[in-house]
Amino acid sequence: MITMATWTRQELETLYPDGTVNVQVDDEVTVMTSEEWSAWIDAQVGTEKPNGLPA
């Protein structure tokens, strides 16, 4: 049985500290607010780490 690795909140927070992730609309790039960043981190926690296969 293959067990897929999943993201933990600690891993994601280490990779993407608050204040370092941007969103872009056309030419305008803005830093995520802390609330947006936290929601973005939450959305990835528990998802499979990319391995090239369809998730």
Partner 1 sequence: MAFPYSSGDVLTAADLNQSSGLVLVKTQTAGTAVSSMTITNCFSSTFHNYFLTVTGGTFNTANTQVQGRLVAGGVEASTGYKNRLLYSSYSASTPLAASSITNQRILWWGGTKANATAPVFCRLWLMGVYLTDGTYMTSDAYGTDGFAGNSSCYHTTPASYDGIKINPETGTMTGCTVRVYGYNNG
Shortest Cβ distance from residue 15 to partner 1 (Å)?
7
Shortest Cβ distance from residue 1 to partner 1 (Å)?
18
10 to 29, contacts with partner 1 by CB under 8 A?
15-16, 20-27, 29
**What number of residues does the chain have?**
55
The first and second tokens of residue 3, run together, are 């067990």
Taking CB under 8 A as the rule, does residue 33 contact partner 1? no
Spatial distance between the Cα atoms of 7 and 5, rounded to a whole number of angstroms? 7
In sequence order, the β-bridge partners of residue 54 are: none
